[in-house]
Amino acid sequence: MDAVLDIYASQPFWIWLAIGVLLLAVEAALSTEWLLWPAVAAGVVAVLTALGLDLGFAGEVGLFAILTVVATLFSRRLIQRVNPDDKPDVNDREARLIGQRARVVETFVDGRGRVFVSGAEWAAEMDGVAAEAGDSVIVESLNGPSLRVKRAT
Per-residue pLDDT reduced to its tens digit, 7-58: 777 788 889 999 999 999 999 998 877 899 999 999 999 999 999 888 888 9
Is the pTM higher than 0.75? The answer reads: no
b (16+ CB within 10 A) / e for 106-143:
bebeeeebbbebeeeebebbbeeeebeeebebbbbeee
- The 8-class DSSP code of residue 110 comes to T
CA angle 65–8–16, rounded 5-degree value? 40
Q: Which helix (H) or strand (E) holds 87?
A: none
- Going 116 to 121 to 124 to 128, the CA torsion angle's sign is positive
Class of the 93-151 domain? mainly beta
Domain with CATH 2.40.50.140 in the chain: 93-151
- pLDDT at position 88 over 60: no
How high is the mean pLDDT of the chain? 86
